[in-house]
A and B are shown apart, each in its own frame.
Chain A
């Protein structure tokens, strides 16, 4: 009797792959735009070029990769199959792709029509994704903290997208005024709701699973995400009742939550059972150091009522924490999925007695070789340090930072494309038998 691998829960490889492989295209575009527009684009928070670059990273890189990752993780971790996954993922992907490009081009060319296209496309993509993902999660019988954290993250995405669409209406030339006050709320729900909560949700599963650590403490899993969510509600309330003390308490608590998450993760990684070098481990450590540093700066700024260095902390969060985490996960998820799908094909062929038709599936660690991965990590780290320096001394560091950022993202794109190419080639070999 032969045991064969089952893909019952897992969607087709193309479902997560198209999102994951496309994500670095957007970060690379963001870096190239920085090179083109130069340091003037960070002269203040509101330049259209900076808004375009920021959204290429948050929507194009982060939402793109996390939509793909969630379409894979929800069935596998939560035990619920996504119906018509290929069909839905194509629409979500195409609408998000068009939406991102239109939004960024809208800012760069000041074209109201592009904003209208962006709003419709992003609206369609978010609506379908939110309905599909939340319906599946609500149906899941899993009671793991990841399920509730993912639901909270999706709610935060709904708020972020709602506020974002409302804000962007002002650029459509249809008589809407820009509610700039709401920008910080849009940003808070986006970064600390959608991004932070989702990374916490995923970390609860993938850190113990792939890094072979203990589970996160039970209290941590039960309360941390809900506390972050309650803080976001408090911050929202300060827009209705502008109480200074409420804002200070919420800000302090938020910094403490980020610090707790970063330190707990670093502690778990330090005590992992197998002390072997690992590429994803480097990314996780860098991400948590960035989040920890951000939390400390935030805490000091709140307690001593100092102006927060907005761009510096923005780079720490978006590049240092979010992009680093996602890049690290890509190096684990993409080879794992390729290995799983190829092994399944092979075993099925063996079950059918077609032994000669099999191909050799390499060890998971060989699908994206360690050396190019480590080089990409070094480039990523160097680009983070230079980008941080560029926020302080733009004239000196902006161009080197943008150049290194572009090289690092091109290297990530190359590594992922090479892995996807290997998969396509092997599948073609299998099909030819």
Chain B
């Protein structure tokens, strides 16, 4: 099982990016995180994620304008996997 679940919503019209991201976040297995690719920073998503006990980290993307990492706040394994990616990008 891959740790990363990739979801590209950059070509979708609202509200599809929000709906698909929340659905994909719900389906994360323990240890998994979601890497969501989007053309703009999805502000309405954040309050929805917080309300549902998800954590997120947003950074500029490579193929799209932004990418958002999303993981469950109770999932230490997924959190450390995302932390490793953040650290690697800072070192880079």
**Residues on A facing B (Cβ under 8 Å):** 1-6, 8-9, 76, 79, 208-210, 212, 273-274, 336, 339-340, 343, 364
Q: In the bound complex, how far is the Cα of B18 from the Cα of A336, in angstroms?
A: 12
Chain B nearest Cβ from A409, distance in angstroms: 27
Q: Report whether A210 and B14 are in contact in the complex, using a CB–CB cutoff of 8 Å.
A: yes
Q: Report whether A3 and B25 are in contact in the complex, using a CB–CB cutoff of 8 Å.
A: yes
- Given A210-B14, A212-B13, A336-B14, verify A3-B49 contact (CB < 8 Å): yes
Q: Chain A residues near B53: list those with CB within 8 A.
A: 1
Q: Report whether A9 and B39 are in contact in the complex, using a CB–CB cutoff of 8 Å.
A: no
Q: Chain A residues near B10: list those with CB within 8 A.
A: 273
Q: In the bound complex, how far is the Cα of B1 from the Cα of A164, in angstroms?
A: 68
Chain A nearest Cβ from B59, distance in angstroms: 18
Q: Chain B residues near A79: list those with CB within 8 A.
A: 43
Q: Report whether A3 and B40 are in contact in the complex, using a CB–CB cutoff of 8 Å.
A: no
Q: In the bound complex, how far is the Cα of B48 from the Cα of A340, in angstroms?
A: 12
Q: Report whether B52 and A4 are in contact in the complex, using a CB–CB cutoff of 8 Å.
A: yes
Q: In the bound complex, how far is the Cα of B36 from the Cα of A430, in angstroms?
A: 33
Q: Report whether B14 and A1 are in contact in the complex, using a CB–CB cutoff of 8 Å.
A: no
Task: Flag B4-43 by CB within 8 Å of A: 1 or 0 each.
Answer: 0000001111110011001101100000000000011001
Q: Report whether A5 and B40 are in contact in the complex, using a CB–CB cutoff of 8 Å.
A: no
Q: In the bound complex, how far is the Cα of B50 from the Cα of A23, in angstroms?
A: 37
Chain A nearest Cβ from B78, distance in angstroms: 13
Q: Chain B residues near A210: list those with CB within 8 A.
A: 13-14
Q: Chain A residues near B22: list those with CB within 8 A.
A: 3, 5
Q: Report whether A8 and B39 are in contact in the complex, using a CB–CB cutoff of 8 Å.
A: no
Q: Report whether A336 and B15 are in contact in the complex, using a CB–CB cutoff of 8 Å.
A: yes
Partner of B48, one of A4, A76, A208, A273: A4
Q: Report whether B26 and A6 are in contact in the complex, using a CB–CB cutoff of 8 Å.
A: no
Q: Report whether B39 and A208 are in contact in the complex, using a CB–CB cutoff of 8 Å.
A: yes
Q: Chain A residues near B54: list those with CB within 8 A.
A: 3
Q: Report whether A8 and B47 are in contact in the complex, using a CB–CB cutoff of 8 Å.
A: yes
Partner of A274, one of B11, B15, B25, B48: B11
Task: Flag B35-74 by CB within 8 Å of A: 1 or 0 each.
Answer: 0000110011001110111100000000000000000100
Q: Chain A residues near B48: list those with CB within 8 A.
A: 3-6
Q: Which residue of A lies closest to B28 (CB)?
A: A1
Q: In the bound complex, how far is the Cα of B20 from the Cα of A5, in angstroms?
A: 12
Q: In the bound complex, how far is the Cα of B12 from the Cα of A209, in angstroms?
A: 9
In the A-B complex, list the 9 residue pairs whose CB atoms are closest, starting with the nearest: A3-B22, A3-B52, A6-B47, A6-B48, A8-B47, A6-B51, A3-B26, A273-B11, A3-B25
Q: Report whether A339 and B15 are in contact in the complex, using a CB–CB cutoff of 8 Å.
A: yes
Q: Chain A residues near B13: list those with CB within 8 A.
A: 210, 212, 274
Q: Chain A residues near B44: list those with CB within 8 A.
A: 6, 9, 76
Some 11 contacts from A to B, beta carbons below 8 A apart, are: A3-B22, A3-B49, A3-B52, A4-B51, A4-B52, A6-B47, A6-B48, A208-B39, A212-B11, A274-B13, A336-B15
- Given A3-B22, A9-B47, A79-B43, verify A340-B15 contact (CB < 8 Å): yes
Chain B nearest Cβ from A207, distance in angstroms: 12
Most buried by A among B10, B39, B49: B39
Partner of A1, one of B19, B23, B40, B72: B72
Q: In the bound complex, how far is the Cα of B14 from the Cα of A343, in angstroms?
A: 13
Q: In the bound complex, how far is the Cα of B12 from the Cα of A1, in angstroms?
A: 25
Q: Report whether B40 and A209 are in contact in the complex, using a CB–CB cutoff of 8 Å.
A: yes
Q: Chain B residues near A9: list those with CB within 8 A.
A: 44, 47
Q: In the bound complex, how far is the Cα of B80 from the Cα of A271, in angstroms?
A: 40
Q: In the bound complex, how far is the Cα of B20 from the Cα of A227, in angstroms?
A: 40
Most buried by A among B26, B39, B44, B49: B44
Identify 16 new A-B residue pairs, CB closer than 8 A, beyond the known A1-B53, A210-B14, A339-B15.
A2-B26, A3-B49, A3-B52, A3-B54, A5-B18, A5-B22, A5-B48, A6-B47, A6-B51, A8-B51, A76-B44, A212-B11, A212-B13, A273-B10, A274-B13, A343-B19
Q: Chain B residues near A3: list those with CB within 8 A.
A: 22-23, 25-26, 48-49, 52, 54
